[in-house]
Structure 1
Amino acid sequence: MERLYVVPNDVCKITGKKIRYAQQLLKKLREDLKKGKHQLITKKELADYLGIDVENIVLD
């Protein structure tokens, strides 16, 4: 079964950027969605934010 939630290492693989960028991106996305620190970001939310299809995000 594939994971539903995204972690900074996943963002690194998707964007090709470094880990610090991925952490900042997830933090900004969490703020924009008015989520708390403990709440996770889903694949769909990340795909919508980055403007890509959710099918393009494959998590191990």
Structure 2
Amino acid sequence: MERLYVVPSDVCKITGKKIRYAQQLLKDLREILNKKRHQLITKKELADHLGIDQELIDLK
């Protein structure tokens, strides 16, 4: 089963950016979505924010 949430290393693979960028992106996205620190970002939320198709995100 494929994961439903993303972690900073996934963001690095998707964007080609460094880990610190990925951490900051997820932090900013949590703020935008009014999520608390412990709440996870889903694949769909990340895809919507980046403006890409959700199917392009592979979390295996």
Tell me what 1:11 maps to: 11
Scaled by the length of structure 2, the TM-score of the pair is: 0.99
Structure 1 portions without partners, runs of 5+: none
> Which runs of 4 or more aligned residues in structure 1 lie more than 3 Å from their structure 2 counterparts after TM superposition?
none
Tell me what 2:57 maps to: 57
Tell me what 2:2 maps to: 2
Q: Does residue 14 of structure 2 align to residue 27 of structure 1?
A: no
- CA shift digits 1:7-31 (9 cap, x unpaired): 0000000000000000000000000
What is the percentage of aligned positions where both structures have the same residue?
82
Tell me what 1:38 maps to: 38
Shift of 1:2: 0.2
The alignment of Structure 1 onto Structure 2 pairs a total of residues equal to 60
